[in-house]
Amino acid sequence: MIGVIGVSHKSASVTVREKFSLDSEESDLLAQRLLGNKYFKELVILSTCNRTEIYFSADDICSDGAFKVVRTELMRLKDSKEDIQPFLYSHYHKDAAHHLFSVVAGLNSMILGEYQIVSQVKAAYAEAEIRGGVGKIFHRMFNKALESSKQVRLKTPFNQGAYSVSYAAVEKCYEHFSNLADRHILVIGAGDTGELVLKNFVKKGCRNISITNRTAQKALELANDYNGRVIPFENMLDGIHDAEIIVSSVSSKEPIIDAHKVRAHMNGHESVVMIDLGVPRNIDADVADIDKVTLLNVDDLKEVVAMNAERKLEFVSVAEEIIDEKVQEFILWLNEQNLAPAIKKIDSIITNLYEKELEAYKKSFSEEEFEQVRKFNRYVSKKLKNKFIKQLKAVTDNGRITEFVSVINLLFDDNNNEPTHN
C-alpha cells in the first residue's frame, strides 16, 4: 500500500505546524526508524512552512496499522504527549496519490498554484533517494506528479499573480507603505524563500535592501545578483536598527528575534513591519507587543491569498481534470505491480502441478494418448488460471486491496508442501 499522513495550513495553525516541522536531521532520524520497520519499504518526507507530510509505501500491513506506526514515531520524535489526531489527515492508495499530485500542482497551497512547492518536493525526493527511501513505486509516483504539475501550469494561469508566499509577503508590505521603493529593508535568510522575497522587492523598485544569512557566501551571491548589501549574521541586530521592513525565513527550532532584542535596537521609525515566513517561527510572538511594530506570520497573508485565488478559481476544474487523468494512469500501473507477483505465482503453481501430475501418469498412456492428455491439461490449466486471475482482480479491486493480494500470495506459495505419489 501507499499512504500519506500530514498536517498543513488547511488542518492546523502555524502554532501547531511549527511543533511538527522537521529539519533535515529530524527527517533523517524519522526515516531511519520507519525504514527500519519491516513493513515500510519507501519513504519521502516533505516539510515546508505550510505542511509536514510523510509519504510511505508499505507491505503486509493494513492502512490503519501503517498510519498508527507513522503517527507514533512522529510523536516519539517530537516527544509530544498531546493529542494531534484532530490536526492530522491521512490518505491511502489512490487518495494518497491524488493528494500528492494536487500538492505538487499547487492546488493545496496557501497561494493557489504557487510554484515554490515544486522545488520543495524535488528536494524532499532527492533527500529520500540519498536515504535509500525511494524504490520503483515512488520513483514512478513522484515523477508522474511532477509531470502532472507541468501540464497544469502550461494549461492554466496559475503561475501569474501571487504565485508564492514570498510574493504575498511583499504585497502585504506594499499595503503598509505606499512608497515601498524608499523603505529600508532587511531580509534574513538567503534560501529559496529569501531569494524570492528579494526578487519581488526588486520588482517593486526597492533599492535599500540588506541581506543577512548564516552562510555569508550565499548572502554575498544574492547581494551581487540583486544589488543589495550584506550584513554579517552576527551583526543582524544592526540591520534591525536601520530597517523599516524585516522579512525572516531561516531554519531555526527557536526564535532568533524577540521583543527584548528588538526594543534595544529600535531606531525611532514611525512604523516597522516584521514578516515571519519561518515554520517554526523565527520571530517571537512578544514582538507584536512593541509599539509601532506590526508582526505578521505566514497565516496572516490569507487576505492576499484570497484575492489571488478569486482570479484563478475558474481554472481549478481544468487542473483537476489533468490530475485525475495522471492519477488514474499511475494507479493502473500500481495495481499491475501489486497483482504481478500473485499472477506469476498462480501461473507457476498451476503449471507445475499439472506437469507433475501428468508426468506421474505418463506410463499409463501411449505416446499418442499422452500428447492428447497434455493438450487437454494445458487447456484446463489455462481456463483455471484465467478463472483464478479474474477472481483475484475482483476480490482485490484490481490490486487496490493489497492485504488481500498478500493472502493470495500465501495461498499460492511455491514452498507449500504438495502431495506425493506412491
**C-alpha dihedral over 55, 59, 60, 62, to 10 degrees?**
20
**219 with 249: CB under 8 angstroms?**
no
**Encoded amino acid at 160, one letter:** Q
> Can you spell out the DSSP letters for 285-351?
GGGGGSTTEEEEEGGGGHHHHHHHHHTTGGGHHHHHHHHHHHHHHHHHHHHHHHHHHHHHHHHHHHH
**Encoded amino acid at 324, one letter:** D
Kindly state the cell numbers that stand for 40.
515500510
From the list 49, 62, 173, 206, the catalytic residue is 49
**286 with 312: CB under 8 angstroms?**
no
Q: Is 49 a catalytic residue?
A: yes
Distances (CA, A) of 32 to 4, 28, 46, 300, 340: 17, 6, 15, 35, 29
**Encoded amino acid at 24, one letter:** S
Residues 20 and 7: their CA atoms lie apart, in Å, by: 8
Bridge partner residues of 186 (DSSP): 210, 246
Kindly state the cell numbers that stand for 286.
512578544
Question: Helix (H, G, I), strand (E, B), or coil: what is residue 401?
Answer: coil
CA atoms within 13 A on the CB side of 329: 15
Residues 348 and 39: their CA atoms lie apart, in Å, by: 26
Q: Which residue has the cell 487518495?
A: 95
Element (H, E) at 393: helix 367-395
Task: Give the residue numbers annotated as catalytic, written as ranges.
Answer: 49
